[in-house]
Amino acid sequence: MTENNDNIIEVKNLVKYFPLRGGLLGQPTSWVHAVDDVSFNIKRGQTLGLVGESGCGKTTVGRLVLKLIEPTSGEVIFNSKNIYDEKFWKEKEFRRNAQIIFQDAFSSFDIRKNVENIVGEPLLVHGIAQGKELKEKVDDLLKLVGLKPEIAKEYPHTLSSGQKQCVGIARSLALNPTFVVADEPISALDVSVRAQILNLLKDLQKKLNLTYLFISHDIRVVYYLSDYIAVMYVGKLVETGPAEEVFAHRLHPYTEALLTAVPIEDPKMRASKEILQGEVPSPVDPPPGCRFYPRCKYAIAKCKDENPELIEKSPGHFVSCFVDFHGSKTII
């Protein structure tokens, strides 16, 4: 994937292995291959949707991109600087520009604090506002996410699930960031408020020119919000490209399986389902060849032993597959 001055994020050959320790001395006995040679770019003001089943490494990628954990190897370039190069690392400056929206907002709150203190804490820590100015900024942030300023005196346990997530979003925007990782931001919410939060994220992106890394297991949600899609399976990217192109011309059997597994009300619109057989392989002992091989009904002999590289099949559309696969034409 080529470099571009419009890219706010460039991830290059990112690897993260977690040790599993055992024995008397606590030495590593094996490794969890959470992220294995992942590369992608995100253009300024756009959204990359990272999609895959639970346990495929999506959240680990998000934390690596924000330097919440250290990589085994690889680079993350943010605004043309490698965040893992200590010569360029300025934590407060980076934290002002790059923030996260958590899956479960409530678990990230200090329940002893009210909404005003939760949303205002980043402003205090960074010395941006205090006193009356702090209260005004918190009120503005609450209005920005569709909440009434009166909610500032409430405590987290009194809020609905949607309100909690809005408070979490307000807190993530307090420092006026340019880049936000949204890690499964609607998966813990009631169905009735999911669309509200998605539309809020879209509106905020337009108003504030935000760039998102949007992480989800639901490919419908990813398609709705994203300009580009990256499909991840057991630590590796298997297909990436413009959202419309990936949906219209799926080139990997796993992408097809994710798509056709989505329930569709109208029977006339239903495509034949690609039912995934078996379980997701353990990242401790992934298959030696294509990691999707054990579950793929289209696999050929070389898939078992050789790992396919991401190859550009059309402008910007990459796939990691030996088989000349083309998904069904039905779009959800």
282-288: long-range pairs with CB below 8 Å, 24+: 283/32, 283/33, 283/34, 283/55, 283/57, 283/234, 283/235, 284/20, 284/30, 284/31, 284/32, 284/33, 285/30, 286/33, 286/36, 286/234, 286/235
Q: Would you tell me how many other CB atoms lie within 10 Å of the CB of residue 82?
A: 16
Using CB atoms within 10 Å of the CB of residue 115, give its burial: 0 to 12 exposed, 13 to 18 middle, 19+ buried. buried
Note whether 231 and 51 are within 8 A (CB). Answer: yes
pLDDT tens series, the chain, 332 aa: 444 569 999 999 999 999 998 877 778 889 999 999 999 999 999 999 999 998 899 999 999 999 999 999 999 999 999 999 988 788 889 999 999 999 888 889 999 999 999 999 999 999 998 999 999 999 999 999 999 999 999 999 999 999 999 999 999 999 999 999 999 999 888 888 999 999 999 999 999 999 999 999 999 999 999 999 999 999 999 999 999 999 989 999 999 999 887 665 545 444 555 567 778 899 999 999 999 999 998 999 999 999 999 999 999 999 999 998 876 654 44
DSSP state string for 244-313: HHHHHS--SHHHHHHHHTS--S-GGGPPPP-PPPS-PPPTTS--SS-TTGGG-TT--GGGGT--PPPEEE
In this structure, what DSSP letter does residue 6 have?
T
3-state secondary structure 38-78: EEEEEECCCEEEEECCCCCCHHHHHHHHCCCCCCCEEEEEE
Tokens 């034949």, residue located? 272
User: How long a stretch of residues is the chain?
Assistant: 332
- What is the rounded distance in angstroms from the CA atom of residue 155 to the CA atom of residue 161? 13
